[in-house]
Amino acid sequence: MNHTGRTTVLLALATLSSWLGEALHNAIELPGLTILSLETIVPGTLAGLLFGLYLFLPSTRVSLVLLLGWGLLNLVGGGIISVLPLNFLPFAPPQTVRHYLSHVFYSVAEIPLILITARLLRQSISRSD
């Protein structure tokens, strides 16, 4: 797949948005953490590495699938499931408006990455047909 400047910038911004959603959630919900805490740095590094794969792999389809999976994992696991008071979770999330709002922001921040990678994957599949 050919990288265009516009597509690359949009994907970079969507990847950054995905990470910022989690970083902001952590800043609100886990005030003892800093931007350099592992809970924030590791996901940001992983997202950056996945974007790097998009830039440098000869075939971008694998990296797009990984980025899509990353966005979906953050949306479903981090944004939705972890806010619910479920017995199998190793913690009891607070049921406050602030907590829910931080998860709404976290979830919404994943949507650009999911939409852009899904669109790019559809385009790559239709080109190979």
Residue in the structure block whose two tokens are 């590495």:
49
Give pLDDT tens digits along the chain (129 positions): 456 789 999 999 999 999 999 999 999 988 888 888 998 999 999 999 999 999 998 788 999 999 999 999 999 999 999 888 888 877 777 788 998 999 999 999 999 999 999 999 999 888 775
- SS3 of 60, please? coil
How distant is the alpha carbon of residue 80 from its chain centre?
Answer: 13
- Nearest Cα to Cα of residue 78 among 65, 93, 95: 93
